[in-house]
Structure 1
Amino acid sequence: MTIVHPLRSIRARCTAAISLLVLVVLVMLDTAVLSIRRSLSAGATTGLLRGHNLELLLTGFGLVLTAGAATWWAVGRVLRPVRAIRTHIDKITANDLGRRLPVPPGDDEIAELARAANHTFARLEEAIAQQRGFAAMASHELRNPIAGLRAELEDALEHPEDPGPGHSLRTALTTVDRLDTIVADLLAQARLDDAGIAAPHELIDLTELLIQETARMNKTIHGIPVRLRVEGELWVFGSRIQLIRALTNLLGNARRHAVSAVGLTLTTAGDQAVIAVTDDGPGIPLADRQRVFERFTRLEDARRLDAGGSGLGLAITRDIAHSHGGSLNLEDSAVGARFVLRIPQLGTSRLTPAGPIAEPYTDEGLPALQ
């Protein structure tokens, strides 16, 4: 419970201020009246003057008391909703964020404060719900591969007479690879969710970055080649590591679903750099176009083509786009899927960097290519 010092409360201060104001007005009025009365009553008796002074003093004292009492009552009524708001705030806990503050009638400042506080509590409730859901889904995703790994190891121990543990070890290694992918994606998602951790930003030649990543992708032995088309030289201000992760996620996703071709284009649209990744695979149904960006969402085709995925790749990529003041959408395509990443060009970025300038670029920390 919050304890307010009597002399520090708004009610007491308003009452004291109004009473003092009335007293000052009365003193000034008394001074003026007394000066006039002295000039007009040179022949008046001393007793009569004293009677008038006493009457004026009593009248002024009564006015001060009346003004103070009226102010105390009026301010008390005005602040009654504030006391109710404070009482409700004291009852709100992390496990009871569904409570809302009472909004007084009208559109005054107190009502606006109550509505703003309710809006803040609603956002806080949603954020905590998302955090709890994220933790629950992460636990579920980690539990399955851990259980599979345990089963393989137990099978190897229970059958030592088998000629070789190669099969069990290979299966266990595959499970460990999946665990590594999930943990890396969970860490990347946690860093993006933490507004206090700002990734280092730098000037980036986006054209050169796409050329480098396309060459890196095409060096892998297995995988459909990526065909790149760029439109001039484009510069952005952002995190090189995050943008590379976004490109790797999009291109890796396209290569898993493509039949024979993956396209990567860089163009401009107004003040934005537009990166489009296309494939000639089966595409994504219209009903699932928003769901694929949700955390831990994996469609049936994705599970069939890549059993080791985490279901976080597209969610991470969209968060990276948002952190750079851009967007990521799944747009219409005649064949396959078309993911479009938009980022403000240099000089038009809506992002105010909160982190330090990046160190010289290295390959350390990049997601490994399969």
Structure 2
Amino acid sequence: MEAVRDREREEQGSAYASRNQNQFHLQSSTGFRPGTPARGQQHLQSQAPPAPSPSNTLSVLVSSIHNLVLDLTVSSQSPAYTIPAQITPHQIPTIETLTTCLETVFSLLLRLKSPTSQSPSLPPPPPPPPPPPPQAQHPQVTALSQSCPPNQNLPQTLSALQQTHNTLLKTHKSLQAVHARSQTRATTLEKKLLVCTDENENLTNERERLQGVVESLEESLAEVREERDEIRLELRKSGAQWGRILTNAGRLAEGASRVERDLRGEVGNLREEVGLLRGRGGDGDSLMSGMESGGFVGGSGSGGGDREVRELKLRVRELERNIEEARRDGRGVIEMAEKLAMLGRGIIER
């Protein structure tokens, strides 16, 4: 709060000095000729109506500046004096304006010194004219001029003004440095913002690309799942077919073995019949030989027996051939069943 209040007081004092500079543009510390008004007074006389006497006006101005300097330099909680004119708040003067105001104040303070402290070469100032009527003066300006005489503690006021000027210069330099640092920081933040924007765009593009990849992978996964389901259905169907094939192969193998047993039994029976026929044939031969010796049997009997034997032999051979064919068919069926079993195992492994 103290810093803000001091800053407002400095701004008010600078603005007030700048406003008074336009009204009272005085000469430098070398003095002026008696009887000749200053350039600021000539300009004021040519543009404005008759004003109060210069000495009274200077006294009011110096007393106001003195009170403002005391108000700015002394760190008090409440201001002791009132500023005569209304000043726009938050008005920040430039360094050139403050320098001109301080030079004007310095000239005013030198001209308001006592006659003993002035240079002997300078003529004394002209006598002041009679003061204006009391009703023409501003009540606040009269109060300021009466509360603090203009010629009191002028060296201290001058040193205080110089210190204030130096302080303002230092403050201006520090503010310029802070402003430069703020600009540098703002430039750095803008660069970082651009980099972050580029990175955000890159990340957005990468996210979109990854989303596309994920969608394509999900589609591929759905297709693979459909193919897997189809393969499972085919495996189930092929497994059922394989089971039926194995069942039929077992039945065929059982039928082949049963046929083989039947054929073997038939072959055995035929062999027994052939043996019996051979035995009968031997007995018939001996009988026929006896009958031939006796002259009872002709040649037709022996021919009928040979023909029957040949027919039996042909039947035996045919039965043996059928047995071999049945064996081959059974082996083929077994081989086919083994191939189907291997095929089923391969499908299950896949």
Give the TM-score of the pair, scaled to structure 1. Answer: 0.24
RCO comparison, higher one (Cα < 8 Å, 6+): 2
Report the structure, 1 or 2, having the larger strand content: 1
Report the structure, 1 or 2, having the larger helix content: 2
- Radius of gyration: which is bigger? 2
